[in-house]
Amino acid sequence: MKSWWVRGSVVLVGLVLFVTIAGAAASPCSTRCTQYRLGETIVFMVDQQKIFSWCCCCTCPDTQILGWRVVDSFGQTVNSLEFDPVGFASDWDGTWSQTDDLGASVPAGTYTLYVETSVGTLSRSFSLYDPCSSCCGCNRCWGFSRCWGWRCGTCSQVATITHCCCRASLVLVKEESTCCSSRLCWPCWP
C-alpha cells in the first residue's frame, strides 16, 4: 500500500511539473493564432469603445481608417489597400480574399494584417491552412494539430491602442467552423 502512495505521489508531482512547463511554453508569445482555410474570405474591423480612465473625455472621435496591408511570415507585403478618402471605423469592415496584389491565391502559412488608423497601426496575426493537405486538415477537429511550427508572432502584435479614454481594437471576424460534426474526420473535409 505504501509503495502505491509513493508511485502515485511521483506521478502527481510529474504531472504538476508537466502542466507548469506546458503552461510556460504556452505563454502569450507562443499562443496559436486564428486559423482560416485556404480560400476563406477574411473579414476584419476596427472596434471602438469608450473606456473610463483618469482622462474623461465626453465622446470618442470616430477612428479613421487610412488603409491596410497583409504581410507574409518573411515580412513581404502580399496585398495592400490605401483609402483616398479615408474611411471611418464606425461604418467599415475590411475583407481579404487571400489573394496577392496581382490576384493570385496565396499559399498556406502565417500572415499578419496591419490596419493603418488615425490613432496608430493595429496588427493581428493569423494562419491559413489547406484542409486537403496532410498537415492542419481535419486533425484540428480532434483538438490538436500536426502543424506545431505555425505560430503567430503575438508578442509583436498591436491589437489594441488606447488613447485618452477611447480604445480601438482590430478584430478578426471569424465564423465558427463546423469542420467535423463527429470525431471521425477525413483528411479532405472542408
Residue in the structure block whose three cell numbers are 476563406: 40
User: In angstroms, rounded to a whole number, what is the distance separating the alpha carbons of residues 131 and 189?
Assistant: 7
Give the per-residue pLDDT at 145: 43
Lowest average pLDDT, out of 31-40, 127-136, 151-160, 164-173, goes to 151-160
Inform me whether the pLDDT recorded for 181 exceeds 50. Answer: no
Provide DSSP, the chain: -HHHHHHHHHHHHHHHHHHHHHHHHTSGGG---EEEETTPPEEEEEEEEE--SSS--S-PPPPEEEEEEEEETTS-EEEEEEEEEEEEGGG--EEE-SB-TTSPBPPSEEEEEEEEETTEEEEEEEEEE-TTSSSSSGGGGGT--S-TT----GGG---EEEETTEEEEEEEE-PPP---SSS---TT--
Most confident of 57-71, 74-88, 139-153: 74-88
* Nine-digit cell string for 128: 491559413
Q: What is the pTM of this model?
A: 0.67
Per-residue pLDDT at 113: 96
C-alpha 53: how far from chain center: 28
Amino acid at 170: L
* Domains of the chain, CATH where assigned: 31-173 (2.60.40.1930)
pLDDT digits (tens, 9 = 90+) for 73-101: 999 999 999 988 888 998 899 999 999 99
Dump pLDDT digits (tens) for 108-141: 999 999 999 999 999 999 999 988 865 544 434 3
Average pLDDT, the chain: 74
Tell me what percent of the residues of the chain surpass a pLDDT of 90.
Answer: 39
Distance CA 93, CA 87 (A): 10
What is the percent of the chain where pLDDT is above 70? Answer: 59
